[in-house]
Amino acid sequence: MIRKRDLVLIENYFREYYFKNTDRIISSIKDFESREFAYIDFDGVMRRHISLKEDEFKSWLMENVPRDFYHSAAYYLFPSKNMEAKSWEGADLVFDIDLDHIRNYQTKTVVVCIDRDKIKILEEEGECNGDKREIMLLEEKGFEIAKRELLMLIEILVRDFDIKEEDINIYFSGGRGYHVHVLKEEYQKLDSYARMEIKDYLTYDGIDIRNIKDVDARPFSSFANALLKLDDDLREVFTEKEIEIMRKKLEENKEKLLMFLRKNKVLASKSNLFITKYLGVQIDGVVTVDVSRLIRVPYSLHGKTGLVKKKINYEELDQFNPLSDAVREDEKKVRLKILYCPEIYWYDGEYGPYRKEEAVVPFSLAVYLVMRGLGHGIREH
């Protein structure tokens, strides 16, 4: 339960940010007035089918102050009408890389017990007579894992789809991953089926290794490289004997391995499973396929972290750290009573670990902890 005073202070924090960044938001959205807008307010109510004019946008933002703010990937003739009457005219090709969809990444969490107005941290075997919740925490390691998928995605889009880097907008999502918006016009008219084919190409969904004709095809090359490197993931799918047999075939040449797999139904099936599970780009395919998808507004604040959905230049990706580079620019420090916070690098330095204590932290870190239910009592420092 978030205390009313904290919520008012956070809403004012968001309002101040939007007052200063209205123009940046407008300039980041192509065909602004053809988009449907939607938002979640600070009472947790979702509102959508909103059409906005550029010259009225600032006053609308100040009046409504979104906690979480979205626009449609699609362009509509009538964006404020219901879905059947909007008249779809196209949509950006959008990709979402989120830690929730990254295999083998163990999300860092903390379990809390909420009993009336009291909140306490639970140890692994702790008892809870109230509402037991598992809260996801942000960490740099997770962002680096998501960034590897992001780089793989961009490489394939540029190499295999002939999409130029200037037609790709890369964003930190503000939460737990990255968004990629492809603005190339020839992709905007693609229907859901065509976008599904792109999704399948990237993720290897539905792959059948027996249908591959070219040994240099990306799925088979990826599989051969995994065999050569003896990826640990291989042992999750294959026995040691099976790996040894396939490696011997590969040592002769790729053609021998491919021919062998075509004739071996069991190993072909296991190879399909391995390729799909471990070698495809890990995106949220639903986002890519949905031609009416709502996506977080660029340069809006994320309601659960206080971080900015920020555009990133490709050359800056290696150095980009969301926990410092996506914080509101005019950040100030506040006092906060913190239930729990592991050691974390945020904004300008290391903070924590904290456990049931008061500390001075950046306002955005206070937003993150309060909105996660891990802090309360924001005060001026």
Question: Annotated active-site positions, please?
Answer: 96, 98, 284
C-alpha distances in Å from residue 7, one per residue of 4, 228, 363: 5, 54, 13
Crossing angle (nearest 10°) for helices 4-28 and 57-64: 160
DSSP reduced 3-state for 112: strand
User: What is the bridge-based pairing of β-strands 93-98 and 177-182?
Assistant: antiparallel
Query: Taking a C-beta distance cutoff of 8 angstroms, is the pair 234, 226 a contact?
Result: yes
Residues 6+ away with beta carbon under 8 Å from 124: none
E strands, 118-212, are: 118-121, 131-136, 168-172, 177-182
Query: Taking a C-beta distance cutoff of 8 angstroms, is the pair 264, 275 a contact?
Result: no
DSSP reduced 3-state for 120: strand
Question: DSSP readout, 209-235?
Answer: GGG---TTSHHHHHHHHHHHHT-TTHH
DSSP reduced 3-state for 303: coil
Question: DSSP readout, 39-101?
Answer: EE-TTS-EEEEE---GGGHHHHHHHH--SEEEEESEEESSTTS-GGGS-EEEE-EEEEEEGGG
DSSP reduced 3-state for 147: helix
Crossing angle (nearest 10°) for helices 363-371 and 4-28: 110
In 3D, which of 57, 65, 62 has the Cα closest to residue 28?
A: 57
In whole angstroms, give the CA distance from residue 255 to residue 245.
Answer: 14
Cα dihedral 284, 285, 286, 287 sign: positive
